[in-house]
Structure formats: structure tokens, C-alpha cells
Copies of this chain bind each other. A is one copy, B any other.
């Protein structure tokens, strides 16, 4: 019977569209920064839906909310979840899909009168985006025990408000302790936030890993000179060195190939005048790879090139590590199961890494974990134009449903 069980697309879309009304922007999109008034409204509404489903609700000291659907046995639940906070120019799907698909999966179980062997839970974690409070994903991190509650509560936003104050203000500093809740399995359904599935016409992304991330900031100090009176041979152009590093970063990505990506997203140039040779440039390079050894190789290539190019141009260069995360590999058994269920449902799928960070990479430290990606039009995310076809959302939620049932009912 469970083989033919299917989610209700219309109800799923209703969940997503209703959630999208909290913090809705004129003309489309959503601004629902973590712990804002809009976040409170959204949280209240999700909790009301959990209550309507008769779930046991657990709100912990950092504001993570879990709704638990009873199983036949009183054991740790198989859990679905993601986040409902957004960036300032967010869409309806990033994070929200994973939570609403979870609600829909439980609604389907309830409608069908199914009580699985293990409890099934749906969770949303506080501040995945990091758009208001840094670092991102601190909700799941505190839940998992990777960050202390005290540190997290003391984090301030740009206006100086702390997470603790804001949790109190919206009434979501719960009583449930952090760092001690056991989870049997975790599944996060999410839009890809990249263009691969959309461009290749694939319905299900079987997420094997999260790319390792290396963020480096280079500061380049040259000499500011008059653009007209300084012969080329006498220049020490910080801007030129930055440009060469940018071009080289692209070459590194091509040379290494595979999952390797390289991005120069930030540059600031001083004095930034049309007729003055730049003397001070700060730039960033974002390198990512699913293989940590290859990522290290990319870093070495880049750092050596930067040193040598600076020497050639006679400028000083220094670098600062802004972030460095090793790649994360999800649980092979769960990843395989996602692939099998997609095949069983007649949906084409692709094993792929996630290029972005997700709560699942934190939960992965606690229990067998994997992710399910659905396509995302033109790869647009963190964008008011973020869009996924309802049929694709439905397909992803159905795979979530069947994987969760398999895990919940396994011997």
C-alpha cells in the first residue's frame, strides 16, 4: 500500500503559498529575516498546522521547532526539515519546501491512517540563512551540539540586538534542551539553487555531498600613480594583479574540472579613480570542490600564482582565510535509497554535490542523513524570481515520502 501512497500536490502548494504570505514583498518574493516579526508570524502559522495535525511540538532553547507524529514505537524519529527564514530578497521555496514537504508527508500519512514503526518528525531550524545573524545555520549547529547555546544567544545583528533578546521578543526561546535530542534519520528536501537539474531536465537530485568551501581574501598593496605620467615599466598596479588572479582562478577551475568551481565575487579598489593607478585592492576568491585533496590543490595553485604575480608587478600581497569547510559526504545507504525511490517512481535522477550549505550537513553529524534536490528555474535562488514547477515540488515530496516511510518502517 505504501508503494502507491502519494502526496497531495494542491495541499502542498497551499502550504507553500500560505507560508509565502508572511513577509511577502510587493511584486513577488519574500523578506523574512530570522527572528523578525514576519518570522514570528510564519512560525506561529507553521506551529498551528503542526497542532492541527496533532503533532507533539518541541521548541528548544534556540528556537528550533520540531513537530512529532507518533510511531508504533517510542524511539528516535525519522525526521524531515529545513528552515523558514529567508534572505532579504528571498523566494517561496528555499528552505520552505523542505518544511512544507515534511508537513505534507505527515498530512498524507495521517489521511491514510498510517502509523509507521518509528515516529516521523518535521523540523524547522533557526536562522539557516545567516542573513540577519552570522554565522548561518546556527540553529541546527546548536541543536547538534557544534556551538554552545550561550554563544549563539549572544550573537548580535547589525543593530546590536542579540539572538537571545529577539527569541524572547517573538516568544520562541523554548524550554526543550539543546544538544540531546536523538534523531534516527534526517532527510532535507530542497530546491537545487543551481541550474543543473533545470538545464538537464532532471527531476530528482540525489545529493551525495556538500562541496568543501575555501574562502580567501587577498589584500594587494601597490603604488598609486598618475595614469598619464607613469610609464608602464614603473608601475605597481594592485588592480592589475587582482585582475590576473581573477582570470587565473577561472583557469584553475577549468584545468581541474569536475566539481571544481572558482568565483571572484568581491573587489574593492582604491583610490578608484579613472586616472590613478590603483594602490590598494581587496578581493575574494571562493573555491569549492567535493574532494578535499583536489580543493587543497586548487588553493595551492591559486596562492602560488598570487605570490608570483605580486612579485612580478612589485606589489605586496597578503591573504586571509575567511572560511574553510571540508567537504561533507552524506550517508551512503540513505543516498542510495533516494536514488532507488526515484527510479521506482519513474523519475530520472542525478547524483550530485550541493554547492551551497544546508542544515543537513550539520544534522549529518548526528544520524544517517541525505538530501533530495528538485529543479529550480534557471538556477535562481536568493532571488524574488525563485521558482520551481508544482509538478517538480510534488515529485520531490513524493520521493521524500517514500524514503521516510522506508526508513520509519525498516526492521
**Chain A interface size range:** 35 or more
Contact string against B for A residues 379-408, beta-carbon threshold 8 Å, 1 for contact and 0 otherwise? 111110000000000000000000000000
Once the chains bind, are B322 and A274 in contact (CB under 8 Å)? yes
By a CB distance below 8 angstroms, the chain B residues around A231 are: 194-196, 261
List the B residue with the shortest CB-CB distance to A275. Answer: B286
By a CB distance below 8 angstroms, the chain B residues around A262 are: 232
Once the chains bind, are A193 and B272 in contact (CB under 8 Å)? no
Q: Please tell me if A86 contacts chain B, counting CB pairs below 8 Å.
A: no
Interface centre among A192, A276, A354 (most CB of B within 10 A): A276
Other-chain residue from B195, B232, B354 in contact with A253 (beta carbon distance below 8 A): B232
Chain B min CB distance to A250 (Å): 6
Once the chains bind, are A275 and B247 in contact (CB under 8 Å)? no
Chain B min CB distance to A154 (Å): 24
By a CB distance below 8 angstroms, the chain B residues around A264 are: 239-240, 243, 278
Pick from A7-15, A221-229, A343-351 the stretch touching chain B. Answer: A221-229
Q: A239-B267, A250-B240 are in contact. Are A382 and B226 (CB under 8 A)?
A: yes
Chain B min CB distance to A371 (Å): 13
List the B residue with the shortest CB-CB distance to A267. Answer: B269
List the B residue with the shortest CB-CB distance to A382. Answer: B226
Chain B min CB distance to A335 (Å): 18
Chain B min CB distance to A139 (Å): 20
Chain B min CB distance to A276 (Å): 5
Q: A243-B242, A247-B240, A261-B232 are in contact. Are A355 and B267 (CB under 8 A)?
A: no
List the B residue with the shortest CB-CB distance to A263. Answer: B227
By a CB distance below 8 angstroms, the chain B residues around A230 are: 194-195, 261, 355, 379
Once the chains bind, are A229 and B266 in contact (CB under 8 Å)? no
- The docked-state distance in angstroms from the alpha carbon of A134 to that of B382 is 42
- The docked-state distance in angstroms from the alpha carbon of A193 to that of B226 is 7
Chain B min CB distance to A123 (Å): 23
Other-chain residue from B193, B195, B260 in contact with A234 (beta carbon distance below 8 A): B195
- The docked-state distance in angstroms from the alpha carbon of A195 to that of B228 is 11
Chain B min CB distance to A262 (Å): 8
Other-chain residue from B224, B261, B267 in contact with A272 (beta carbon distance below 8 A): B267
- The docked-state distance in angstroms from the alpha carbon of A357 to that of B229 is 10
Other-chain residue from B234, B240, B265 in contact with A239 (beta carbon distance below 8 A): B265
By a CB distance below 8 angstroms, the chain B residues around A260 are: 232
- The docked-state distance in angstroms from the alpha carbon of A335 to that of B260 is 60
Contact string against B for A residues 52-90, beta-carbon threshold 8 Å, 1 for contact and 0 otherwise? 000000000000000000000000000000000000000
Q: Please tell me if A277 contacts chain B, counting CB pairs below 8 Å.
A: yes
- Of all A-B residue pairs in the complex, the 8 with the closest CB atoms, nearest first, are A194-B229, A228-B355, A229-B355, A243-B246, A227-B263, A243-B243, A274-B284, A227-B286
Q: List 18 A-B contacts (CB under 8 A).
A: A195-B230, A196-B231, A215-B274, A227-B265, A229-B381, A232-B250, A232-B260, A232-B261, A239-B246, A242-B243, A243-B247, A263-B276, A265-B269, A266-B269, A266-B272, A266-B273, A267-B267, A274-B284
